Amino acid sequence: MTGLPDWLRTALPASAQHAGLAIAQLGSERNFARGGFKLTSPAFGPGEELDPCFSAEEEDAVAPPLEWNAPPPGTQELVLIAEDATSTGDEPDCHWLVWGLKGQKGMLLEGETPPRAGKNSKGNSEWLLPNPPEGETRQYVFQLFATELPLTLMPGATRADLLATLEGSIVASTLLVAPFTGSAAEDEGDWAEDDI
């Protein structure tokens, strides 16, 4: 896809360059990774595949753990937006909208309920489990934003509401990309026969 600025194009794999990503609208060369601001996960490295335990392939799947270092001084709040950069529409499918995170070094534990969450692409206020078709690899982009103002947005807000609220208040941004490939569904009939 076209329309991405150079600073963002170099930070994303070719298959994750969706011009509608939140960071393409809210981030800038000046605020990207400002002061060494970085998002990581103890469950996967940059560009490493998401574990199925964070996807629709496992019954008790949860959101992945995420960690970040200290944002620039003056940060009031942190906002996390996770999107499927392989989506074909003008806007990428939104998997997670989280805000109310303290403007300091911190983490979200595996499966932890965030302070405030907005509606994902399915209209739910939770981590939307990745569920790509068999053999298809999708790129999930976790984007973290540091804001200079606290958000007054209520839980359950939409992506559009959140982006509009954040406009002009971002002091730092960063991202973490993780692909996930859909695998074949297990045939329960075969499993039952083998079990007998």
Tokens coding 72: 């620039």
* Confidence at residue 186, expressed as pLDDT on a 0 to 100 scale: 54
Distance CA 125, CA 21 (A): 19
Q: Rounded to the nearest 10 degrees, how much is the dihedral formed by the CA atoms of 27, 29, 30, 35? A: 90
Tokens coding 68: 């970040």
Which stretches in the chain have pLDDT values below 50?
A: 1, 187-196
3-state secondary structure of 58: coil
**Taking the chain, what is the end-to-end CA distance rounded to the nearest angstrom?**
51
* Confidence at residue 10, expressed as pLDDT on a 0 to 100 scale: 95
3-state secondary structure of 35: helix
Distance CA 147, CA 193 (A): 56
> Are 156 and 125 within 8 A, CB to CB?
yes
Distance CA 26, CA 24 (A): 6
Q: What is the 3-state secondary structure (H, E, C) of 30-72?
A: CCECHHHCCEECCCCCCCCCCCHHHCCCCCCCCCCCEEECCCC
Partners of 193 in beta bridges:
none
Distance CA 102, CA 68 (A): 11
> Are 80 and 151 within 8 A, CB to CB?
no
Q: What is the pLDDT of residues 49-68, one digit of tens each?
A: 999 999 999 999 999 999 99
